[in-house]
Amino acid sequence: MAVFLAWSSAAVPEDAHGPWTELRRLAEGLVVVESTESLSRVYHELKWSLPEGTALLVAPLAERPKLKGLPPGTTTWLRDRLPGPDH
C-alpha cells in the first residue's frame, strides 16, 4: 500500500471515487491518499475529479513528513501507514 500527498488549486472532493482505500482531506486543496495503484493512476483519477484546468500535484510519500496544525488524527493516520524518518 502506498501513500500519496496531493495538492490542488481547487477543493478535492472528499467523496471522489478512485483507486484508493482512503482519501483523507487535510485542507481545502490538500489530501493524502492510500492506494495500491501507481502514482500515474492516482494522479489521473484525482485530475478527472477536478474542474478542467485545475492545478494538481501528486507525490508518493516514502516516510512520515513533519507536520503541525492539521486535522486531528492526521499524525496517527500517517504513523499507521508510513515509517518515521528514523526507521
Does any domain span residue 44? Answer: yes
Does any domain span residue 58? Answer: yes
Model confidence pLDDT, tens digit, residues 10-26: 999 888 999 999 999 99
Range of the domain at 6: 2-79
Strands 22-27 and 2-8, by their bridges, are unpaired
Say how many domains are in the chain. 1
Does any domain span residue 71? Answer: yes
The answer, yes or no, to whether residue 87 has pLDDT greater than 60, is: no
Eight-state DSSP code of residue 78: H
For residue 54, the Cα-to-chain-centroid distance in whole angstroms is: 16
Model confidence pLDDT, tens digit, residues 37-85: 999 999 999 999 999 999 999 999 999 999 999 999 999 999 999 998 7
pLDDT attached to residue 14: 84
Does any domain span residue 34? Answer: yes
Q: Whose CA is closest to 8, among 52, 54, 42?
A: 54
- A 10 A CB-CB count for 2 gives 17
Contact 11, 54 (CB under 8 A): no
Q: What CATH number is associated with residue 38?
A: 3.30.70
Does any domain span residue 84? Answer: no
